[in-house]
A and B are shown apart, each in its own frame.
Chain A
Amino acid sequence: MTDCPNAEIRDLLPDLVHGTLAGEERARVESHVATCADCASELALLRAARRALSTGVPAVNVERIASALPSPPRAVSTTPGVVSIETARREREQVARPRFAGWRRAAAVILVAAGATTVAVMRSDRGRDSAVGPTAVATAPSPLAGSAGGAPTAASETVVATRAGSAASAASSTPARDAGLSMAGGVSDLDDAALVALLGDLDRIDATPATEPTAVMPEMTGEGSE
């Protein structure tokens, strides 16, 4: 048994065996086989091989295999109103998703409120610095000056006094805006007058941001009740 030199036709012989060739192509192959002994022999061999390799195969139980398969994603329920566990779980997740989104929004609002409170405290500190005047600021040792290894120098006192003075002069229009951040040390470094001023500021701070939590809380309550 020799090979036909027409490789294209030989490639198509298995398709001819399986009847999967289109009309025109099928006619072309069949006409070639009719005149080519090699291809006719190979075609006969292919048919015999197909039979040989298809016989003696153990039968399989389709129903048994199908019963071992996983359930479909959306199992059809025969009872009205009853859904599969998987379906119920998905629906529950879909309902739960907006609630988690609400919590994320609430957390973001709380973070913004906390940031606003911090800014308010810092601004209040600046206001207090302006209120206590050059003397209080001058007596509070600056960490910068302290790190230089001694008492505040005349130059640094001058700078602080100048800043405080300019803030005081502008207090009538924009209090504390130009005071800048206080570089003073801890609370223990403040004298009695400064502490009184600080406590007074804190009292005002406690009252100041009250409107922000009031705006947040109803939303949190509303989200949580979903």
Chain B
Amino acid sequence: MTDDPSGPGDDALVDAALIERWREGDQRAATELVARHAPALARFAANLGARDDVEELVQDTFVRAFGSLDAFRGESSLRTWLFTIERRLLLDRRRSERRRRDQATLDGHDAATEYDALDAVVAEETERRVRDAVERLTPTQREVFTLRVTEGLSYKEIAEIVGSTEGAARVHYHNAMRAVKEFLR
């Protein structure tokens, strides 16, 4: 995947066809869209700290997306749009929880306590250490690293999701990679 694709990929074309089928009244197209993107959304949510409410978060993301699917122009990919919605939902929940608990601000310096939702049991030692390293990243680094490494998104797509520039997304990724390497050293 490059940062400057010449046109919509196969995934985007399939999504567009499914969206059109759903707009025409085919509810099964919605099920196919959920099946295509729900696992990635669940991974993203889990890696950003969601625990028991992963499915609820994924469902809310799809409900929000389908509620405004008429307004979806296809300027970005459906996957990018879904990640953007889920991220906002997750941040909204974080803010609500934070207000209730009256805890620290969302400034990225408390990443270890904020994003500590990865499973405790990981069989392979390297993977466990990698997860520990990722947990210690700042929230933004963790978002960018997860989207780039786990989902394979381009910097352009990541920038759209996290609301930054392509260059900033690249910097966040390399800083995250450097931090992970230092932790593993």
Chain A residues within 8 Å of B, Cβ to Cβ: 1, 3, 7, 10-11, 14-15, 17-18, 20-22, 25, 42, 45-46, 48-66, 68-76, 84
Which residues of the other chain, A, contact B62 by a CB distance below 8 angstroms? 65-66, 68-69
Q: Can you spell out 25 A-B residue pairs with CB atoms less than 8 angstroms apart?
A: A11-B155, A18-B152, A21-B1, A21-B2, A25-B2, A42-B177, A45-B181, A48-B130, A49-B130, A49-B180, A52-B122, A52-B130, A53-B43, A55-B127, A56-B119, A57-B42, A60-B39, A60-B55, A63-B31, A72-B23, A72-B25, A72-B26, A72-B29, A73-B25, A74-B24
CA distance A18 to B149 in the complex (A): 8
Which residues of the other chain, A, contact B54 by a CB distance below 8 angstroms? 57-58, 60
User: Are A71 and B27 neighbours in the complex by a CB distance under 8 Å?
Assistant: yes
Q: Which of A17, A60, A72 has the most CB of B within 10 A?
A: A60
**In the complex, B81 has a CB within 8 A of chain A:** no
* Number of residue pairs A-B, CB distance < 8 angstroms: 147
Give A25's nearest chain B residue, CB to CB: B2
User: Are B149 and A53 neighbours in the complex by a CB distance under 8 Å?
Assistant: yes
Which of A45, A51, A53, A69 lies in contact with B30, CB distance below 8 A? A69
CA distance A59 to B35 in the complex (A): 11
Query: What is the total number of residues of chain B having a CB less than 8 Å from a CB of chain A?
Result: 56
User: Are A72 and B30 neighbours in the complex by a CB distance under 8 Å?
Assistant: yes
Looking at the assembled complex, report how far the CB atom of B154 sits from the nearest CB atom of chain A, in whole angstroms.
Answer: 8
Can you add 10 more A-B contacts, CB < 8 Å, to A56-B46, A60-B42, A76-B25? A18-B152, A21-B1, A58-B46, A60-B39, A60-B54, A60-B59, A65-B59, A69-B66, A72-B26, A72-B29
User: Are B1 and A20 neighbours in the complex by a CB distance under 8 Å?
Assistant: yes
User: Are B38 and A53 neighbours in the complex by a CB distance under 8 Å?
Assistant: no
Which residues of the other chain, B, contact A73 by a CB distance below 8 angstroms? 23, 25, 70
**In the complex, B150 has a CB within 8 A of chain A:** yes
Looking at the assembled complex, report how far the CB atom of A50 sits from the nearest CB atom of chain B, in whole angstroms.
Answer: 6
Which of B24, B29, B146, B181 lies in contact with A53, CB distance below 8 A? B146
Which residues of the other chain, B, contact A49 by a CB distance below 8 angstroms? 127, 130, 134, 145, 149-150, 180
Which residues of the other chain, A, contact B73 by a CB distance below 8 angstroms? none
Give B70's nearest chain A residue, CB to CB: A73
Which residues of the other chain, B, contact A56 by a CB distance below 8 angstroms? 46, 118-119, 121-122
User: Are A65 and B127 neighbours in the complex by a CB distance under 8 Å?
Assistant: no
